[in-house]
Each structure stands twice: as structure tokens, then as C-alpha cells.
A and B are shown apart, each in its own frame.
Chain A
Amino acid sequence: MPDREASRAAPSALRGLLSLVVVLGSACSAGAGSVFSAELSALAGRSADGAWTLNGAGTQTNAVGFEYLVRLSGERGDYLTADLQARASYDPARPEREPWAIEIHNAWIEHRFGLGRNARLGHFEPAFGLERALDTHGTLLQTLAERNVGFKHDWGLGYRGTTGAFDLEASAQTGSGMGLERRDGSVLLSSRLSTPPGTAVGVGVSALYGRTLTSMGMRTLPRPIFDPDAVERRRIGVDALWNTGAVALAAEAAAGSNDGRSVLGALLRASWQVPALDALTLEAQAEHWSREDGTRTSLGACVSLRPGDGWTLSAAVLGDASGDAGDTRVVLHAYYYGRFP
């Protein structure tokens, strides 16, 4: 049965992937600039009952992967960028005794019409929330993206550009997340207006409407198992970053509804890059999520060491402050991202 599922999924998911490979291959033969990077994620989690497992960190899994970024240039400059980031991952908590999976994170091509005007096609982040301002691809602490959108990447079309003092993004996507699927009118429309990245104080305002599909397990292949009914999501959100150098604060809040039922969420994260020990970062995060049928407050603390050579070694304690101590987990994570070969 799983093999049949996988074989049905292969044509749709692989068509896009193969198209991108063709573009990347053409780009290489055209002498475009490219960077190939390898990625490795190894983690183990320990629950309050003392059992160690090879998962326990939400979107992070044990994985080996790569990222291939290509830029095509002409006489008038760069006009096309393509990125493919994929992992072979292992998560014993996946359904149907299929712990191994292919995860496609980025798989997009972007055309530049001019400075500050870019259109994107493929699998990329929706234009919503703090996730657009923080890179959480290799980190244990995450944003509210999973709660607000249901996933961190989706298939579709997008635009990003500059408008006066602000950056503007908008996207129209399938609402299916990592797997490529359309059913029950699934769709995701999102937009975000923000101050440019890299400033000491950054602010973003976002909105989304979607009918998104819920799947068991974060994977592209084998095909995820989707719930038959889409969830109608409406959100508005604000996010902010304040970076003083050694100390950085990140916050976001979002309000809206899931299938007509109100939801409200907020997140606050403080990071301290220990002075004189550039490689050491301490982080603490509080997250509150409220629905009509209950609330949940999660706390997390993480220490990360970057010894160089592309490695990040992290240890985090993640817990549910509104539940019991049984929800507390300790997660150890070794993450590598570096140029290859």
C-alpha cells in the first residue's frame, strides 16, 4: 500500500522537481554562478519519562540533504535564480512504518523583472509572519508558522519587491505544504509588508486567507496522507525584530480563525550572543496559543555553540507550561551546513 501511494505521488511531485533540475542543469551549462551546500541534521530527544528517541523537535528530523543555488546572468544582470533544497530524513514517529522520507524545502525559480521586482514559482515560504524574517531551517526553536499556516513551505506563485521604504511580498499557493496536492478547494493566499531586512528594528504586517490541507508527517515523498477536508484559515499578524548586536528580541502575534473558530497566538524570543564568545548563543522563548477549546503556553530554552566549519551544536529544553511535566523534552541537535565538495 505505501508503495502504491508513493508511486501515485511520484508523477506530480517529481514533475516539478525534474523541471527545476532541468533549469539548474541548463544554468550550469550556461556558466551561471552557483553554490552547492551539504546539510546534515542529527538529533535525539529525551522525554520526561527518560526515554531517548531519534525525534522530538517538531520540524527538525535526522536528515542528510543539500542546497543548490544557481543564478543566471545576462548583459543587464541577474535575471533568474533557482534554488533546490532537499533532505532524506528519518523520523520514527512518521505514520505507516515509513520513517524515511524525502523532504523538499525549497524548489523554486525566481525571475527578476528589475531592481526590486521579482516573481517566484515553485515551493517556497508563504508571505506571512516572523518566519519570513528569521531563518529557522536548522534551528530547534521555531516560530508560529506551523500554527498559523500549518506548514512552512507551499507550492505556488509569488511576488516580492520593494515599495518605497517597505518590502512587499504576496503569494498564491496550493495550501498543501510539503506535499503537492489540491483537494476540497485548497488554496493559500498570503501577503506581508515589512521594513527591509538587516535594520536594527524591523516590523512586518501580514495577512492570509486559505483552505489548507492537514497531513500526517512532514514529507514530500512518499506522498503525505492528507485529511479529506481543508481547514479554512484567516489571519492577520504583526511581527517585530529588535537587534542591538549581542541581544536580539523577536516577537509575533496573530489573530484570526480556523474553520470559523477564533484563534490567537503570540511568541516572544530573546537571544543573547555571549560577548567575546561569538560562537555561543543563549535563547529563551515563550509561545502562547489560544483556541476556543483551550489554550497552550509553551516555553523553550536553547544553548547553541558554533565551533566553526559550518557546525552548530544545540541543546534545548522544550516544555508545555500549561500542561504537566510529562510534556517536557530535552533535545540535542548537531547541525551542519557548508559548501560541498
Chain B
Amino acid sequence: MRRTAVATAVVLAALALARPASCAVGCTLNDPDRDIRRLFPGATGYRTEFVSIAERGGRPLAARIETRLGEPLDPVYEALDVSYAYYTVLKGNAVVGFVHGVNQKGRYGGMQLILATDLRGAVVGFYYQKLTSPEAKRFRSEAFTGQFKGLTVADFDLYRSASAEERARSPVSRIKDPSERSADDFRATLRGVMKNLILLEVFGTTKQDD
């Protein structure tokens, strides 16, 4: 009885002292070996790195990201201590690209948006690793995801511009919503892809600053 009481006390104390934090790793590839080979057919290997906003700049960096994104980060899906998995894709010893994913809140739940980018930071591949939507098939179609190829974060910056003329110049504005009744998920997709590209840029920059 006394042992039970002690055990209960220990567990309750641990519960009380446990530091609230978000999930350990935000968005990793389900099957990295296969996914990397599919996205970069000539790849021979990859390096995995875990990076978080908290480690790379904390609240000030989060503020910069939010300003660029034009929206606050979600405290659950985008907590500062979530580690993002970055895959640096190699062909022999040479870096040929990057693969990185983010979580994004959609209308019916969390999305996982995976981007493959080249050395300039331009999208060479985009797919939903997870998507809950009655129109998921339309969103997952190559006709839709293929429209993101070639986009850079600068295209999204232009799309976020206050000037209607500049927004119209951005190739992002020409991407059509593939759905009939899921405009929220379309907007969430654009936001998630932009966030993914911003993180790729800021994490690369802050690493060089280190």
C-alpha cells in the first residue's frame, strides 16, 4: 500500500514537473530511403538534420517568420521547439537538393506538406504526405501539385505583397484551387508551402550565422 502511494506520488510529481513541449519531430518522411530516391532519382544518399526555431533564433526568429508569412504561427502545429527534419540529398559527395516537410493545420485536420528543392531553393517536387479532405484526390493530383514546380520563396513574397500589380506578377497567383468546396484547404496549402520555403531559407541563413 505504501509503495503504491509512493508510486502515485512520483507519477503525479513527474506529471506536474513535466515541461510542456510539442511533438519531438514536426514532420519526417514516412519512408526516407524510398522518398529520396523517388524525388531525386540519381541520389546515392542523404544527411538528416533536425532543426527548430527555438534553437536557431527563438522568439525573434519566429517574429521574422510571422512577418514574412503575414500570420502568427499556430501554437500547436508550429510551436517553436518542434524539430523540422531536413534531408540534404547527395549524389556521391555532391549536394544535389533538399527535402523538407512541415505540418499545417487544414480544415479537417493536420496536413503534412513535403517539398523537394534544388540548390537555388526552387521547388522540384511537392506532395502531401498526409491530407484529410473530402477532395484529397484533387489536391494530390499531379495537375495541381505540379504547378508548384519552379516556385521560390521570392514568388510567395511577391504573392504576399500589398500591391495588386505585384501579386498578379507572382506565378503563385496563377495556381488554381483544384477543389470545389475546400477553399480553406487550398489556402492552407499555399500557406504551408510558403512557410516551408521560408523555413528552408531562414534555417540555412541562421546556420551560416552560427
Hey, which bits of chain B sit against chain A, CB under 8 A? 3-4, 7-8, 10-12, 14-15, 18-25, 30-31, 33-34, 36-37, 43-50, 52, 75-76, 79, 81-83, 88, 90, 92-93, 105, 107-110, 129-134, 136
Contacts and interface: CB of A to CB of B under 8 A. Distances in A.
* Interface range, A side: 35 or more
A245 B131 contact: yes
Contact of B21 (A112, A246, A310): A310
Interface of A: 33-35, 37-38, 40, 42, 54, 62, 64, 67, 71, 73, 75-78, 90, 92, 99-100, 112, 114-116, 118, 161-162, 167, 196-198, 244-246, 273, 275-276, 278, 308-311, 334, 336-341
B36 to A, nearest CB: 7
Nearest to B109: A278
Contacts of A76: 44-45, 90, 92-93
B36 A337 contact: no
A196 B31 contact: yes
B34 A90 contact: no
Contact of B81 (A167, A337, A339): A339
The CB with the most chain B CB atoms within 10 A, among A78, A99, A246, A276, is that of: A78
Contacts of A339: 21-24, 52, 81-83
Given A100-B7, A115-B33, 8 more contacts: A54-B4, A73-B48, A92-B4, A245-B134, A246-B108, A278-B110, A308-B76, A339-B82
A106 to B, nearest CB: 14
Given A37-B24, A336-B18, A339-B81, A115 B108 contact: no
Given A35-B83, A310-B21, A334 B31 contact: no
A198 B36 contact: no
Contacts of B3: 92, 99
B11 A35 contact: no
Nearest to B86: A33
B131 A78 contact: no
A75 B12 CA distance: 46
A162 B18 contact: no
